[in-house]
């Protein structure tokens, strides 16, 4: 009887152990099932987001296709239909192509540009003056001290951006100085960079500030200049810039939309420069006191964008800017420091740019050489002004 009771207990323990094992197995399988369900839900959400993104991109492509088709229609309206004599002349040698291009161009160039070149130069000079004034105003509004970079996430991000956009020499100089003039130069470099970006872009998206928006349109335009009548290519450039900005931005205030990001970058410079004011105070001052000033700079840059991109059809103008750490070339840039010309001439070391302080302006035109070959001539109308790394070294030696 005792053995029978012990056998039953042993069997009961075995059943209990099997039950516990089964329950544990079921619990693990339930957890795995829930994990699979969560993963499935996540995949469904990703699929929905991707579908929405595809839909948005398809709509953008359709809008742009429609806009390009509309632009082509506008161009076709302005290109006179070839006469019977012109059609018959198509079999002639290519030497007659220049004459045909001139006939097409006559229609487009019958009315001269309403913006003379001297006004374009003045626009760029006004933009440079505004950048200088705003940079000086903001820089002189704070005090600075030599310091180590704030180890916070915001401070580290500010330094990372500064090294990428302004270069390591300028970033280190900001950290090691208490001179507001150095901060002003950094501000001028930053605002001239964003002004140059604004002038170049076909439309505007500061989430892509590291690239010129519309590079593909630049490529199309440069190709058209080589393969089509210049008047046709320039008319395409004008209409496309006009309509693509209308499609992308509508009636929105473009300048207002660009200002907050630029204000953030100027705040980053203040952090790197060891501004003594608290971050909250810097941010509030930037918002309440300087946003309108920054908007004035961008508004002028947008005016230059429209003038040289849409209004001028008789030529091609390009605003120029020099990247930090680029080699100094006096043939197309000016050093603001004129006291060390001899030192620069005698120096065997490669002299590099610390920062651009003023934008330049160039004109591209197609000319025919003495031997009859057509080529592009680049004329510098206004040289960009720069501060050199060597100037800081010479100043330090005084």
| 41 or 229, higher pLDDT | 229
Q: Which of 343, 391, 327, 352 is nearest to 179 (CA)?
A: 391
The pLDDT value recorded for residue 49 is 64
Q: Which two tokens stand for residue 308?
A: 């040289």
The pLDDT value recorded for residue 96 is 52
Q: List, in order, residues 6 or more apart from 148 with CB less than 8 Å away.
A: 175
| 215 or 198, higher pLDDT | 198
pLDDT-derived band of residue 115, with 50, 70 and 90 as boundaries? confident
Distance CA 235, CA 265 (A): 36
Summarize the confidence of residues 63-76 as an average pLDDT: 64
Which of the residue ranges 78-87, 110-119, 252-261 would you say has the lowest mean pLDDT?
78-87
Distance CA 189, CA 268 (A): 13
274 has pLDDT over 60: yes
Summarize the confidence of residues 155-174 as an average pLDDT: 92
pLDDT per residue as tens digits for the range 306-363: 999 999 998 899 999 999 999 999 999 999 987 766 566 666 678 899 999 999 999 9
117 has pLDDT over 80: yes
Which of the residue ranges 51-60, 141-150, 229-238 would you say has the lowest mean pLDDT?
51-60
Q: 């001052």: which residue's tokens?
A: 285
Q: 């499609």: which residue's tokens?
A: 247
Summarize the confidence of residues 46-65 as an average pLDDT: 65
The pLDDT value recorded for residue 375 is 85
Distance CA 139, CA 169 (A): 19
Which of the residue ranges 113-122, 281-290, 338-347 would you say has the lowest mean pLDDT?
338-347
Distance CA 302, CA 152 (A): 36
Q: How many Cα neighbours within 13 Å face the side chain of 150?
A: 19
The pLDDT value recorded for residue 58 is 67
Q: Which of 275, 287, 286 is nearest to 150 (CA)?
A: 275
Q: Which two tokens stand for residue 212?
A: 């010129």
């Amino acid at each position: 009887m005792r053995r029978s009771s012990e056998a039953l207990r042993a069997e009961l323990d075995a059943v209990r152990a099997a039950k516990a094992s089964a329950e544990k197995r079921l619990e693990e399988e339930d957890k795995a099932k829930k994990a699979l369900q969560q993963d499935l839900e996540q995949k469904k959400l990703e699929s929905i987001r991707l579908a929405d993104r595809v839909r948005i991109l398809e709509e953008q492509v359709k809008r742009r296709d429609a806009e390009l088709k509309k632009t082509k229609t506008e161009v076709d309206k302005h290109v006179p239909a070839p006469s019977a004599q012109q059609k018959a002349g198509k079999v002639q040698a290519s030497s007659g192509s220049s004459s045909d291009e001139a006939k097409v161009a006559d229609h487009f160039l019958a009315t001269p540009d309403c913006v003379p070149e001297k006004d374009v130069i003045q626009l760029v000079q006004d933009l440079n003056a505004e950048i200088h004034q705003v940079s000086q105003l903001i820089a002189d509004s704070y005090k600075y001290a030599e310091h180590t970079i704030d180890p916070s996430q915001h401070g580290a991000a500010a330094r990372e951006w500064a090294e990428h956009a302004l270069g390591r020499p300028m970033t280190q100089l900001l950290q090691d100085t208490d001179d507001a003039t150095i901060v002003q130069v950094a501000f001028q470099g930053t605002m001239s960079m964003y002004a140059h970006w604004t002038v170049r872009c076909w439309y505007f998206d500061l989430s892509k500030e590291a690239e010129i928006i519309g590079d593909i349109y630049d490529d199309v335009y440069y190709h058209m200049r080589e393969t089509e009548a210049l008047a046709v290519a320039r008319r395409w450039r004008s209409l496309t810039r006009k309509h693509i900005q209308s499609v992308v931005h509508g009636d929105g205030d473009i300048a207002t939309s660009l200002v907050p990001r630029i204000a953030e970058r100027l705040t980053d410079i203040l952090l790197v420069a060891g501004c003594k004011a608290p971050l909250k105070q810097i941010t509030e001052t930037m918002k309440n006191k300087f946003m309108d000033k920054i908007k004035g700079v961008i508004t002028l840059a947008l005016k230059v964008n429209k003038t040289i991109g849409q209004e001028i059809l008789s030529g091609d103008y390009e605003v120029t800017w020099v990247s930090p750490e680029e080699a100094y070339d006096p043939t197309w840039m000016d050093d603001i420091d004129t006291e060390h010309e001899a030192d620069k001439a005698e120096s065997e070391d490669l002299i590099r740019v610390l920062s651009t302080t003023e934008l330049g302006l160039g004109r591209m035109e197609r000319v025919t050489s003495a031997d009859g070959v057509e080529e592009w001539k680049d004329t510098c109308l206004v040289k960009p002004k720069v501060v050199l790394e060597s100037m800081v070294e010479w100043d330090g030696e005084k």
